[in-house]
Structure 1
Amino acid sequence: METILATTYPIHFNEKAYVELARIVKENNYSSIFIMVDDNTLECCYPRFIQNFQTESPIEVIQIDAGEIHKNIETCVGVWNAMTELGADRKSLVITLGGGVLTDLGGFVASTFKRGIDFINIPTTLLSMVDASVGGKTGVDLGVLKNQIGVFANPQMVLIDPEYLHTLSSREIRSGTAEIIKYGMTHDIHLFNEIKDNPNVNLVDLIHRSIEIKNEVVTEDPKEKGLRKVLNWGHTIGHAIESYFLENEHKEALTHGEAIAIGMVCEAFISSKTQGFSIEKTNEIKQAITAIYGKTIILPEDVQPIMELLKHDKKNESGIVKFVLLKDYEGFVINAEASSELIKESLAFYNK
């Protein structure tokens, strides 16, 4: 796979990526290197990484607890303290080795420590390969509210090694697939069709194109002033559902992709009611999503708490919930609005 060039950093693939990593580390003569892992990547991914990483710089490993529930300021404080105790300075480097939680949090830790030190992203999940590791968004959650605290900061490079995907459960693979589906519906319908029509599709073949799409969007709109909002297709309702299931002790937490998949079904329904998106395609989306992800039951008593969480979406303006909606596949509208009743109808449509 060919290297993809973002505005200020490269995205390298496979064996070439490790060669480029060694080169960047040597050229920058870092005083120390901090490799951030979680419980899972320390066991499953770190051995492969360290076997392929050539450097003479001192290395320290910092481990955090795995899971979205730990993506918060408290975890950051723990990492900042550990780095300080281990002698980190402004010439230190942070390497994030993990999924979206670790990539978001690790980038935020690095970009704020001593007003900002270099970091490199090595995503180890499908979700983080095609989404979190690229685009310069870093941050943590505020309670159950997703990604409320953070900064835009670009890594020195991104290293994509699909071999790490062999460490994932089928559920985590499905979670990452939702972001590829998102790119398919908004930018390249081939991606959606490949997944919809072929249950045994080789997802590795779709990673490069997915990253290309995200990179094209964020290069044009790095700070999400306009076009970049399209990357939130399915995420407005999806994030609210994800947060609700995360905070409710009587619910099993959903993965990010599972929640976003539900969000795409709901937002397709809203699109059919307000943007002329065909009901046939809306039903096609619902059928494909439920075939891949099964059905999550959203009870009547769940609806109002989900509606309350929608009020905190980052795209909102003056208290009004803003959506990305579809006129057609590959034809989207940003900053669209929908009534509360229509949002509730969309949840009922998903439930049918």
Structure 2
Amino acid sequence: MTPIQANTYSIYFNEDCFSYLENQLKKESYSKIFILVDENTNENCLPYILSNLATEVEIEIIEIEVGEESKNIYTCLDLWHTMIDFGGDRKSIVLNIGGGVITDLGGFVASTFKRGIDFINIPTTLLAMVDASIGGKNGVDLGNLKNQIGVISEPKSVLILTKFLETLPANEMRSGLAEMLKHGLIYDKKYWDKLKNLNNLSTNDLDTLIKESIEIKNTIVSQDLTENGIRKALNFGHTLGHAIESYFLESEDKKTLLHGEAIAVGMILESHLSLSLNLISKEEYAEIKYIITDIFEKIEFTENDIKNILDLLIFDKKNEFGKVQFALLNKIGEIKINQTVDNSLILLAFEDYSHI
């Protein structure tokens, strides 16, 4: 596959990844390679990387615990101290091998260590391949509030090895699919239409769809790296989705949701908001709801759950002057940013969702 050119880096696929990596490591004469993994990628992905990594540079492997619970400033402190202890300097590089937690966290750690060192993202989940590793957003959660602390700093490259998808359970694959569906809904109806027929797709089709999803995100990000305008389109489904994800993460009696599971609910709810504001038709809303609920299990919400989720909306990063900002659909394949919505319409959206 032809590499995709982003603002300051390239995204490589499969057979091109290791030749690029070998050349990059030789060209830059790095002093040390730090490889950040979690327990799963250490076991399932790192051996393949190491067996194909031709370099004489000293390698240090750092493992963190799996899960969103590790995506915090305390993990960063541990990593910074570890890198110091192992002799990390301005000519070190970090390879982030993992899902969105690893690429978000590892990118932030690298971007702030010694005021910024190089890093390369090697995403191992579908979600990280099509979303988290692309676009230069790096950061950590503040308590249970998603992505409140971070920087925008682009990697040296992103290496997409779709072989790693073979290690994923079905729920992780679905989680990544949520972001792919979002890309079609906000930008390209033809791409959305392709994703509607997943049962008829082969493995080769999936590789092509992953590349197309990355191209959509990259096209948007390239126009607006710092999210002052069109990049806000990528937040469709995320205003309510992030609040739902945060609430389920902090609630002891709730099962923690994967990012894509929460975003899938968010996309249905925010599609209903789009319907309430007469931005999309009833037919479009029905289609969106049908496709997403066919893939993702319904989540049950009590009145108290909904109240607490609404309270969390005020912490959304897109908010300006205390007002919650939504990116809503204008039609399938087109977005409208900076939309404000009354809570009464959000409650109607939850009411409709409860009858799925």
The TM-score with structure 1 as length reference comes to: 0.98
5+ long unaligned stretches in structure 2 = none
1:226-241 correspondence to structure 2 within 5 Å: 226-241=229-244
Residue from 323, 329, 332 that aligns with 2:335: 332
- Asked if the contact 2:188/2:334 (under 8 Å) is kept, the reply is no
Match in the other structure for 1:147: 147
Residue from 274, 278, 282 that aligns with 1:279: 282
Structure 1: 4+ residue segments shifted above 6 A: none
Q: What are the Cα deviations for residues 128-172 of structure 1, in whole angstroms up to 9, with x where unaligned?
A: 000011100000000110000000101111100000101100000
Match in the other structure for 2:78: 78
Match in the other structure for 1:218: 221
Match in the other structure for 1:169: 169
- Asked if the contact 1:135/1:215 (under 8 Å) is kept, the reply is yes
Kindly provide the amino acid, as one letter, of the partner of residue 152 in structure 2. F
5+ long unaligned stretches in structure 1 = none
Match in the other structure for 1:91: 91
Hey, what's the Cα distance between the residues in 2 that align with 1:199 and 1:302? 34
Residue from 278, 297, 302 that aligns with 2:300: 297
Match in the other structure for 1:261: 264
Residue from 318, 321, 326 that aligns with 1:318: 321
Helix, strand or coil at the partner of 2:7: coil
Helix, strand or coil at the partner of 1:11: strand
Residue from 252, 255, 280 that aligns with 1:252: 255
Residue from 208, 213, 223 that aligns with 2:211: 208
Hey, what's the Cα distance between the residues in 2 that align with 1:189 and 1:64? 39
- Asked if the contact 1:258/1:293 (under 8 Å) is kept, the reply is yes
How many angstroms does 1:279 deviate by?
A: 1.3
Hey, what's the Cα distance between the residues in 2 that align with 1:268 and 1:335? 15
Hey, what's the Cα distance between the residues in 2 that align with 1:325 and 1:85? 47
Greater displacement, 221-230 / 187-196: 187-196
- Asked if the contact 1:37/1:63 (under 8 Å) is kept, the reply is yes
How many angstroms does 1:102 deviate by?
A: 0.3
Helix, strand or coil at the partner of 1:343: helix
Q: What are the Cα deviations for residues 154-212 of structure 1, in whole angstroms up to 9, with x where unaligned?
A: 11111000001011000000000000000011111233222223335343221100111
The TM-score with structure 2 as length reference comes to: 0.97
Kindly provide the amino acid, as one letter, of the partner of residue 322 in structure 2. G
Kindly provide the amino acid, as one letter, of the partner of residue 336 in structure 1. Q
Match in the other structure for 1:341: 344
Aligned residues: 352
Match in the other structure for 1:109: 109
Q: What are the Cα deviations for residues 272-317 of structure 1, in whole angstroms up to 9, with x where unaligned?
A: 1114311111111111111101211111221110001111000001
Hey, what's the Cα distance between the residues in 1 that align with 2:193 and 2:156? 34
Kindly provide the amino acid, as one letter, of the partner of residue 232 in structure 1. N
How many angstroms does 1:51 deviate by?
A: 1.1
Hey, what's the Cα distance between the residues in 2 that align with 1:344 and 1:73? 34
- Asked if the contact 1:275/1:326 (under 8 Å) is kept, the reply is no
Hey, what's the Cα distance between the residues in 1 that align with 2:155 and 2:343? 39
Hey, what's the Cα distance between the residues in 2 that align with 1:2 and 1:339? 45
Helix, strand or coil at the partner of 1:320: coil
Hey, what's the Cα distance between the residues in 2 that align with 1:289 and 1:322? 23
Hey, what's the Cα distance between the residues in 2 that align with 1:256 and 1:86? 33
How many angstroms does 1:66 deviate by?
A: 0.7
Hey, what's the Cα distance between the residues in 1 that align with 2:349 and 2:54? 52
Kindly provide the amino acid, as one letter, of the partner of residue 136 in structure 1. G
